[in-house]
Structure formats: C-alpha cells, structure tokens
Structure 1
Amino acid sequence: MTTLFISDLHLDERHPQITELFLHFLATEAREADALYILGDLFEFWSGDDIRNTLNNSVKNGLKALTDDGIKCFLVKGNRDFLISKRFAKETGVTILGDYTAIDLDGQQVLIAHGDTFCTLDEKYQAFRTAVNIPWRQKLFTCLPIFVREAIADKIRGKSQQGNQQKSMAIMDVTESEVVNKMQEYHCDILIHGHTHKPNIHDVQLSADKLGKRIVLGDWFDQGSVLIWRDGQYDLQQRAFLKDV
C-alpha cells in the first residue's frame, strides 16, 4: 500500500511552474498511490470556494480527475487556505480533515497536521489564527465582493512576509513540548506535518523509554517535496520542476 503526503505548495498564478508540477504529479505519480494527503497551504491564499479563475479551476479539475479514478484524497487546511469549505470538497471529491487526525498506516498509528498549531511561541500568529477561524468572521468575509477579498488577502500576505522577517527561527518553529503532548494525546509514535518549510526527520522523546519520529514536509518553492509511505517504510523525496528535468 502506498500513501503520499505533500504540503505547502502555495499555488499562485505568479508561480506557474509549481502548478505545472502539481498537476503533473496528480496525473502521474498520485494515480499509482492508494491515497494522497495534502497537509495544508495548497494555495497561497484561498479567498472563498466561489472564486473561479484559471488556477483554481485547473487545480480542482486535477483533484476531481484523481478522486474519480478511485484515489482517496484528504486535505488538512493550512494557515493560507483555511477558507476552503464544503463546496470545494464537493467539486473535487476531496475529504477535508480537522487540525489533527490519527490515521492507520500499515498498522502504525500516525498523527497528521498542518503544523502551525505547534508553533506556540509565535503568540501573535496564534492570536491571528484564533481570530480568523471564528465561523461568523469567515462567513462575513466570504460575503464580501471578490475584489475586496483579494485586496484583503494581498494585504495579509504582505504583513505576514514583513512580520516573519522580524521573527527568529526559533519562534516560528514548533514547540517540542506541544509536539510531545499531541502525539501522546493521540497515542501516535509518528507525526507528519508541514508549515515550517524545513523538511527533515526528527527524533521525539515521547517518554523515558520511547522515541518517536516527527517528519516535516518541505515546501514547493524550489522543487516538489513528497513523502512516500509504502509497506511500513517512509522516504522524504524531492521532485524537480518539469523544465529542470
């Protein structure tokens, strides 16, 4: 059984090479898998399920073709695409998951998440996250005209980039104690997440005599990043842009 994990593509019309690689991935490698998990920030910013443009339509069509072929596809919403909702799920066949989900992979309990909730030292971000995930605020935002929503999204992106430049790497990374607490809460020895854009496989001291693993997915800014889980073994790999092949 083969399960694929990706995150942090940040699909945007300004970076067509990422979209091209993702659509190629959906049409080829993902078709050979049993399931695909997208762990947040598929889009640079998602302003509402009702927005239709070339990028959104092509991505939705690619996902629908994948799920129509019987490949299970799951999505954890990230901090950039938290407004993805039921309409997107219906149009693509993708199943939307919560912030934390424990899944069974070849008899191994694995916790999956976007990863932003582990960055508890970044108090300003956590306050922002709490504010924008209030249901009535999200509903109000999606009632605004599309051009207003996109203008707000551009402003949020600008402030986020500026703010991150002023933060230390330690603040923007995960808090180890929060990782351990969640892995223990969900009884999982392995955690897979994205968000930090720092692909790696870390040891996690879950107890005095138990060592777990934290697998961090990479972003797709300079290449694709794919975690392949097959028959109890996992491998974090890169994929070159099509024009670089």
Structure 2
Amino acid sequence: MLHFLSDLHLSPDAPGITRLFLDYLAGEARSAERIFILGDLFEAWPGDDALDDPEDDFARAVADRLRALADSGTGVAVQHGNRDFLLGDRFAERSGATLLPDPYVLSLPAWQFVLSHGDALCTDDADYQAFRAQVRAPAWRAAFLARPLAERQAAAAAMRLRSEASKREKTAQAMDLNAAATDDFLRRHGYATLIHGHTHRPAEHDHLVDGIHVERWVLADWREERGEYLAWDGHRFARHALLPVAAPRLPAGAR
C-alpha cells in the first residue's frame, strides 16, 4: 500500500492539522509500504537550522515523528512545495525521509506514476512563476540561508502574507494547472498517471493526450477538521479521510 498526501501546511498556528498528522503517522501510515508527501508539508521552512531553534521545538517534533515512522519500516519520501522549498539534507537526515526531485517518476510493476507538487504547471500565473524561478536559483538560496534565522523567519512570514493577499486578486484559472502545459507534461512523461497537490482542489481528471486517456489525481489540502491521503493498493486508488478523534462523552452529572 502506498499513501500520497500534500498541502498539510503544518505550523504551530494550526494545532488541529498537526494533531491529525501526528495521529496519522502513529496509526494508518504504519500500514503503508511508503508514504509520499508531495509538497507543503510545512507552512514555511526558513532553513534546516530551524531544527536548532531553542525557542521552538515544533520542527524537531515533526521530524522526530517522521523518523519514528521510517524506523518502523514505512518509507518516507518528501517533495518540496512552494512553502517549504528550503527543506534540505539535515531535515532529511533527522526525519529519515528521502527528498525527491520534482517531478519524480515512480515506476511500479503494475503501473507508472509521475509525482509533482504541481505549482510549476500553473503557468497562467506569470508573477508566481517568476518568483518560483528566483527562489529556486542556487545563488538566491545561498544568499537567503546566509542570513540569521530570525531574519529568515520574519521574511518567510512576510512572504506568506503577500502570498495570501495575492491569491485574493487572482482568477481561479491563474491558480490552476494550465491545460496545454499539463498535456505537454503528460506527453513528456510517457502518459503516466499524474499525482499532485498545490491547487487545493481535490479531484480526478481524465486527459485525452494524443488519443490516450491519462489520469490526473489532485490531492486534498489539510484543514483543522479534516485531513486526507490517497491510497494505492496495487490496483486502484481510494481517498481516506482523517478526522479528529472525538473526546469521550461523560456520563450525565459527571465533572
């Protein structure tokens, strides 16, 4: 069994999502051979030295729970998203995760998949694509990571605010995958089934590319009251919802 998930946007400000994810790691994830987190595991990642921040153990707690899952025998693979593109080797070492390139071709005996966060295919959003190219450039990354951690944390918070403000001004089309770019992507990757996140629009799409029907599965974003992963059992996909565990009801009159 393989699990695919994305867009958790973990942060101390979203305790419900964090609890759902940690419960998942300790529970249902252990039935999987591998889990694939396709970007935006974190709401922001200012650099791997966040693991050393003495005033915030959030990053360490998440990494250590991923390591516990990996040590239990479930493989953990993580792609960069548009919010956590600075995840690096130290995070991978601490968490036991493999950092995957984007895109990543997953070849199995019964099927072939191509995995991506999905943001690179939102080509109608020219401003975002320019920003993405800038922050993925090695020179920019090196210069940014050379700044003090507190300064980078403040910069990441400012980036998030600008991103949310920008979203409110963009059309739905600009924030979704471009149809022609997606078809070209599927063609280049041998008509493999595409699994991605980023758009927060979970759905199953059928593309007709060069006369070939190609599936595209969009992963759900996680919210305080609901998480979701997509499971592949070797034959078919199924979506699995993760809901908060309700507190036990006390007997009448109990305190």
More displaced stretch, 86-95 vs 98-107? 98-107
Cα deviation per residue 1:141-168 (whole Å; 9 max; x = unaligned)? 1121111111111110110000000000
What is the match of residue 238 of structure 1?
241
Alignment-mate amino acid for residue 208 of structure 2 = Q
What is the match of residue 51 of structure 1?
50
Structure 2 runs not aligned, ≥5 long: 249-255
Cα deviation per residue 1:153-205 (whole Å; 9 max; x = unaligned)? 11101100000000000110001111111111111331000000000101111
Q: Which secondary structure does the structure 2 equivalent of 1:23 belong to? A: helix
Shift of 1:60: 0.4
Query: 206, 219, 226: which one pairs with 1:217?
Result: 219
What is the match of residue 193 of structure 1?
196
Runs of 4+ in 1 over 6 A off after TM superposition: none
Q: Which secondary structure does the structure 1 equivalent of 2:173 belong to? A: helix
Write the mapping of 1:25-40 to structure 2, written as runs, cut at 5 A. 25-40=24-39
Alignment-mate amino acid for residue 235 of structure 1 = A
Write the mapping of 1:69-218 to structure 2, written as runs, cut at 5 A. 69-208=72-211, 210-218=212-220
CA contact (8 A) 2:110 2:234 kept: no
Alignment-mate amino acid for residue 196 of structure 1 = T
Query: 59, 64, 69: which one pairs with 1:61?
Result: 64
Q: Which secondary structure does the structure 2 equivalent of 1:111 belong to? A: strand
Shift of 1:4: 0.1
Q: Distance in 2 between matches of 1:136 and 1:64?
A: 30
Shift of 1:231: 2.1
Q: Which secondary structure does the structure 2 equivalent of 1:126 belong to? A: helix
Cα deviation per residue 1:112-167 (whole Å; 9 max; x = unaligned)? 10000110000000000000011121122112111111111111011000000000
Q: TM-score, normalised by structure 1?
A: 0.96
Q: Distance in 2 between matches of 1:193 and 1:230?
A: 18
Q: Distance in 2 between matches of 1:187 and 1:147?
A: 44
Q: Distance in 1 between matches of 2:231 and 2:191?
A: 18
Closer/same/farther in 2, CA of residues 157 and 244 from structure 1, 3 Å limit: farther
* Pairing 1:21–2:24 present: no
What is the match of residue 7 of structure 1?
6
More displaced stretch, 74-83 vs 138-147? 138-147
Closer/same/farther in 2, CA of residues 174 and 58 from structure 1, 3 Å limit: same
Q: Distance in 1 between matches of 2:45 and 2:191?
A: 31
Shift of 1:242: 3.0
Q: Distance in 2 between matches of 1:143 and 1:70?
A: 36
- Which has more radius of gyration? 2
Q: Distance in 1 between matches of 2:145 and 2:28?
A: 34
Q: Distance in 2 between matches of 1:23 and 1:188?
A: 35
More displaced stretch, 159-168 vs 64-73? 64-73
Alignment-mate amino acid for residue 69 of structure 1 = S
More displaced stretch, 76-85 vs 231-240? 231-240
User: How many positions carry a matched residue from both structures?
Assistant: 243
Shift of 1:54: 2.2
Q: Distance in 2 between matches of 1:191 and 1:225?
A: 18
More displaced stretch, 105-114 vs 127-136? 105-114
Q: Distance in 2 between matches of 1:244 and 1:81?
A: 33
Q: Distance in 2 between matches of 1:133 and 1:11?
A: 21
Identical positions, percent: 37
Q: TM-score, normalised by structure 2?
A: 0.92
CA contact (8 A) 1:105 1:232 kept: no
